[in-house]
Structure 1
Amino acid sequence: MRYFLEIAYDGTRFHGWQVQPNALSVQEVLDDCLSKVLRQPISSTGSGRTDTGVHASQQFVHFDVAQQLDTEQMVYRFNRLLPDDVVARNLYLVPDEAHARFDAFARTYHYHIMLAKNPFKRYYATYLNRLPDVEKMNQAAAILLKYEDFTTFSKVKGDTKHYNCNIYEAAWSQEGEELRFTIRANRFLRGMVRLVVGTLLDVGRGKLTVEGFEEVIASQDRSKASGAAPAEGLYLAKVEYPEHLFQKST
């Protein structure tokens, strides 16, 4: 039987989502927990990867197990074994063909910026010592919705077959001493959001015009993008699936 598990995690001490040699990953910690609780080898598949230091307020994984599970009891047992920086939220019985990565039709990321130095936010937001021009950053962000090819904002390495993404939302908001960038799309390229944020911040600092930002996108040239924004401000915030996919078990 196939299950979807909804989790969240603080990415500070992890070298990203995906299992890798000689580095601690969220997937490694999760699979170890699932295998011990379910008393069989479990290999989970995530809805997507997050890089070193990136957080997730919502992430989904799927895994297969021979028997039907008591979902509430399993969530309780998973959380007893998981470390404090990873939490299991919900467990859903899904059709056998359901796939955490390929069935997701939209993903949302948030990027957090603090405008006042805050020692309690140092691993969870990027600090800027002056307010960038939010209006210009929003003008530039709106241009993202006009394009599909985001080669400019992709990492050179990887097995990506194409660089097309459909962006549905991209906007900055301010609340007190915090700025938040929200971007929602059907898919994202590796490192894309941090490169987008870094380039938008250059618009906000006056280093790049709004028109120049569009030229950067249209160039399809990775060297034209600004440096990537730091990892600690980035959160995978939401993963969306068709409603019929979830069949909550008892």
Structure 2
Amino acid sequence: MTTPDITLYTYGTQNGVKISIILEELGIPYKAKQIELVKNEQYEPWFLKINPNSKIPAIVDHNKDDFPVFESTAIAIYLCENYDPEEKLLPKNDLKLRSQVIQWVMFEASGIAPAQGQSNIYCRYLPEKIPFVINNCAKEIRRLYGVLNKSLEGKEYLVGNKFTLADAMSYPVIRGHAFSGVESIDEFPNLKAWIERIDTRPATQKGLNVPVPDIMKNPEKLEEYGNLIQSYFKDRLNM
């Protein structure tokens, strides 16, 4: 396998750090470029050629004719399929295990990420607080956490009792549960222990601090990001 030559275009959001975590866990050399969301760099023509949806994260694989990949789930699978010969994060030969990993990856993409994203909007960014909507978002997040908590019973990780893409994709989002309106996860002891277990992984911790120090532990950066999102909604909704 040739030495990877990847550029990661990102920002320190829960979604952005998914890919830096995967790159670090796989030991893939890469260059990280922070997209200046405050300056609307994501809408510049050069970036739209990489991701026509104007979102982070995105990558360019320079070893494959500058092949661009966008959408975090698609990027994660692409990196594993091309640069994970030891099957660290995604099984290749055991098709049942592979399917189980991908099922949990899709569970995050279609369930956890949208639920917490919606909760972020209604809990933090919209000026009008609607208790019914906020409570309904929290209820759905707790339901999803319950699924994970039950699935982690007697296990350290979601699939095959080893850290895989299934864990890597959900962890950055779930660790930010308080930001999404779920202050405590004490009712989910297996899930809480899972977060604490992944917290100890050096590669994951390194990925959380790309391209800036961990936003979830940096009040100044978290406030900056919050102001950015608020201004986005004000512009889009004419609030």
Higher strand fraction (1 or 2):
1
Question: Which range, TM-score by smaller chain?
Answer: under 0.3
Give the greater-gyration-radius structure (CA).
Answer: 1
TM-score of the pair, normalised by structure 2: 0.25
